[in-house]
Amino acid sequence: MYAFASIFIMLWFSRPLISQQSRIDRLEKLLPEISDDKKRVRVYNDLCFTYYPIDPIKGKEYCNQALEL
């Protein structure tokens, strides 16, 4: 019973991370297609705030790229 509860809890809390990863993948695929700077800044900001809870260093890199534009 304890093992089942542990697995259930682990799967339940990993669900948001999976959805964040798919969002990150979509945004990263979108970047090379965008030529408008305003839209690129929005995507960089979305990547920044989506990445920050998972990988703060990578999130900060995307924030800095948005600031450069």
In 3D space, the residue among 43, 11, 46 whose CA is nearest the CA of residue 30 turns out to be 43
User: What is the pTM assigned to this prediction?
Assistant: 0.72
CA 27 to chain centre: 8
- Residue 65 confidence (pLDDT): 92
Q: What's the sign of the alpha-carbon dihedral 6, 8, 9, 14?
A: positive
Average pLDDT on 41-60 reads 90
Q: What's the mean pLDDT when you consider all of the chain?
A: 80
